[in-house]
Amino acid sequence: MQSNLQTTVNNTLPISGQTAIQQAQQPNAEQSIGSILVKTGKLESEKTELILKHQELKHVRFGEAAIQLGLLKEDDIRFALARQYHYYYLLPDDLVGSDELIAAYQPFSNQAEGLRTLRSQLSLRWFTTWPLRKTLSIVSAGSGEGKSYLAANLAIMFSQLGKRTLLIDADMRHGRQHDLFKLPNQNGLSSILSNRSDATSIQHIPAFMDLSILTSGPTPPNPQELLGRHLFVSLLAYASHEFDVVLIDTPPAMQYADATTIAVLGGGALLVTRQDSTRLEDTRKLTDRLTELGVPMVGAVLNRF
């Protein structure tokens, strides 16, 4: 992925019970490698005694002892060390999300490095500028251009930075985030905007300490009208109060007017294009439309994956 960022640049939502942030269990920073691996199901508790005895006998570290005994792999030890430093990612056998979540499953790949570069530029040019901005819409002219992929991976990346991150799937026609993160979608954005649910629909992702997702919810007959209601403004105000970073995945802008409404209310937009796929004329029309409405175009990403 290559990015070319060009800067052109105490309302709350009713909620029943605790917020997703309050419900999230914070891990103990002093956990040992063994306890982390047991807690995450990568090591049977009774095997720790064998490792500790071998560790004492051979005068080696816990991880080295476990590898020598054939009970753990180097990837397991690297995973536990990352958890000690509050750097959360997943191993291939962690079936909690799609393999499209590169930031989760391949955090040391070239694609992940490209995402980190993009995250750094967004942090410097948007999320840490004054006045403080917390909300950003991810937009594209057409479908299949990698917008949902980028939104999901960026959300993971910001949570790995220790930012309380919320990803909102605002594509209430063809939402993808519940599939990418393997989440239930009985309640979500459409439920909140139709006043059939509240912020308890926000789902914390246990595998990532600082990541929460609001899925699209059941497909409504009137997505555009729901986005025009004051409840959406209230939701964004609530999200900005509870989270450090709020990313919004939007429908394809040339097919539906939803994306324009979301970008206007969200305060800024990041444009996603795909190499050899996106039509230049569609992109120009979208950027012109958003600029006319006063939406800051934070930058553009050329997606090659």
Structural domain ending residue among the three candidates 58, 84, 110: 84
Closest by Cα among 266, 245, 93, 96 to 157: 245
Closest by Cα among 247, 300, 251 to 274: 300
For 285, half-sphere exposure in the C-beta direction (CA atoms, 13 angstrom radius) is 12
Closest by Cα among 280, 304, 150 to 288: 280
Which has more pLDDT, 23 or 238?
A: 238
Are residue 61 and residue 199 in the same domain, yes or no? no
Are residue 6 and residue 107 in the same domain, yes or no? yes
Give the confidence band of 248 by pLDDT, cuts at 50, 70, 90.
Answer: very high
Closest by Cα among 274, 261, 251 to 225: 261
Query: How much is the pLDDT for 85?
Result: 64
Are residue 122 and residue 8 in the same domain, yes or no? yes
In whole angstroms, how far apart are CA 283 and each of 7, 20, 137, 289?
A: 17, 36, 16, 10
Q: For residue 161, give both structure tokens.
A: 């930075």
Instruction: Give pLDDT tens digits for 126-136.
Output: 998 777 789 99
pLDDT at 187 over 70: yes
Are residue 71 and residue 38 in the same domain, yes or no? yes
Query: How much is the pLDDT for 163?
Result: 93
- DSSP conformation class of 125: I
Are residue 146 and residue 291 in the same domain, yes or no? yes
Domain of 270, in residue numbers: 2-25+96-303
Query: How much is the pLDDT for 10?
Result: 35
Tell me the pLDDT of the chain averaged across its residues.
84
Whether 90 is in a domain gets the answer no
Whether 235 is in a domain gets the answer yes
Whether 41 is in a domain gets the answer yes
Query: How much is the pLDDT for 28?
Result: 44
pLDDT at 138 over 60: yes
Closest by Cα among 107, 125, 202, 100 to 161: 107
Query: How much is the pLDDT for 276?
Result: 79
Query: How much is the pLDDT for 225?
Result: 93
Whether 89 is in a domain gets the answer no
For 282, half-sphere exposure in the C-beta direction (CA atoms, 13 angstrom radius) is 18
Distance CA 254, CA 242 (A): 32
Are residue 297 and residue 195 in the same domain, yes or no? yes
Structural domain ending residue among the three candidates 61, 84, 107: 84
Are residue 70 and residue 104 in the same domain, yes or no? no
pLDDT above 90: percentage of residues in the chain? 49
Backbone angles phi, psi at 270, to 5 degrees: -115, 120
Asked whether 103 and 305 are in contact (CB, 8 A), the reply is no
Segments in 8-109 forming alpha helices (H) = 20-23, 33-39, 45-58, 62-68, 74-84, 102-105
Are residue 292 and residue 188 in the same domain, yes or no? yes
Whether 289 is in a domain gets the answer yes
Whether 91 is in a domain gets the answer no
Whether 276 is in a domain gets the answer yes
Instruction: Give pLDDT tens digits for 46-102.
Output: 888 888 888 888 888 888 888 888 888 877 787 777 776 677 777 777 778 898 999
Which stretch of DSSP H or E encloses residue 249? strand 245-249
In whole angstroms, how far apart are CA 242 and each of 63, 97, 129, 134, 166?
A: 38, 24, 18, 10, 9
Are residue 76 and residue 121 in the same domain, yes or no? no
pLDDT above 70: percentage of residues in the chain? 89
Are residue 139 and residue 166 in the same domain, yes or no? yes
Are residue 54 and residue 115 in the same domain, yes or no? no
Tally of domains in the chain: 2
Distance CA 11, CA 227 (A): 17
Distance CA 259, CA 99 (A): 26
Are residue 57 and residue 117 in the same domain, yes or no? no
Distance CA 194, CA 217 (A): 11
Structural domain ending residue among the three candidates 84, 104, 124: 84
Asked whether 147 and 137 are in contact (CB, 8 A), the reply is no
CATH number at residue 147: 3.40.50.300
